[in-house]
Chain A
Amino acid sequence: MAELAQRQALGQALAEYGSVNPRVVVLDADTAFSTMSILFKERFPDRFFNVGISEPCMVDVAVGLALGGLIPFANAFAALLSLRTLEQIRSCVCYARTNVKLMASYAGLSDYKDGPTHHSITDIALLRSLPEMTVIVPADANEINQWVPVIAEYDGPVYMRLNRSATLHVHPPEVEVQIGKGITLRAGDDLTIIAAGSMVGRSLVAADKLAEIGVSARVIEIHTIKPLDKELIIQAAAETGAVITTEEHSILGGLGSAVAEVLSEHIPTPLVRVGINDTFTRTAPDPDTLMDAYGMSVGDVVRAAEKVLERKNV
Chain B
Amino acid sequence: MGTISETNLKELESIALQLRVESLKMIHRRQAGHPGGSLSAADIVTALFFYKLRIDPSNPNWPERDRFLLSKGHASALLYTALARRGYFPMEDLLHWGALDCHLQGHPDRLKTPGIDMTSGILGHGIPIGAGLALAARLQEKAYRVYVLLGDGEMQAGVVWEGALTAAKYRLSKITAILDYNDVQLDGCVHEIMPLEPLVEKWRAFNWHVLEINGHNMRQIVEALDLAEEVHDRPSIIIAHTTKGKGVSYMENLSYWHGIPPSDDQLQQALIELGQEA
Contact = CB atoms under 8 A, between A and B. Distances in A.
Interface of A: 25, 46-47, 49, 51-52, 54, 56-57, 60-70, 72, 87-88, 91-92, 95-97
B63 interface: yes
A92 B119 contact: yes
A25 B139 CA distance: 10
Interface in B122-154: 122, 125, 128-137, 139-140, 142
B159 interface: yes
A113 B20 CA distance: 59
Interface residues of B, number: 31
29 contacts: A47-B139, A49-B166, A52-B162, A52-B165, A54-B159, A56-B158, A56-B159, A56-B162, A57-B128, A60-B129, A60-B132, A60-B163, A61-B129, A61-B166, A64-B129, A64-B130, A65-B132, A67-B129, A67-B133, A68-B132, A68-B137, A68-B140, A70-B136, A88-B159, A91-B125, A92-B118, A92-B129, A96-B109, A96-B119
Interface of B: 63, 67, 109-111, 117-119, 121-122, 125, 128-137, 139-140, 142, 158-159, 162-163, 165-166, 170
A87 B136 CA distance: 23
Contacts of B135: 49, 61, 64-65, 68
Majority-rule SS of A interface residues: helix
Given A54-B159, A56-B159, A64 B119 contact: no
Majority-rule SS of B interface residues: helix
A65 B118 CA distance: 12
B122 A87 contact: yes
B102 to A, nearest CB: 18
B250 to A, nearest CB: 34
Contacts of B67: 67
Residue with the greatest number of chain A CB neighbours at <10 A, chosen from B119, B121, B129, B159: B129
A67 to B, nearest CB: 6
B125 A92 contact: yes
A41 to B, nearest CB: 15
Contact of B118 (A51, A61, A96): A96
A66 B67 CA distance: 13
Given A67-B118, A68-B140, A88-B125, 20 more contacts: A25-B139, A54-B159, A54-B162, A54-B166, A57-B162, A57-B163, A60-B125, A60-B129, A61-B135, A63-B132, A64-B133, A64-B135, A65-B135, A67-B133, A68-B136, A68-B137, A68-B139, A69-B63, A70-B136, A96-B111
Nearest to B134: A64
Contact of A70 (B128, B139, B170): B139
Nearest to A68: B136
Nearest to B170: A49
Nearest to B142: A68
Nearest to B137: A68
Nearest to B131: A61
Q: Give me the 9 closest cross-chain CB pairs, A-B, nearest first.
A: A64-B132, A68-B136, A60-B128, A57-B162, A96-B119, A54-B162, A61-B132, A64-B133, A64-B129
Contacts of A62: 132
Given A61-B128, A88-B125, A68 B133 contact: yes
A64 B126 CA distance: 9
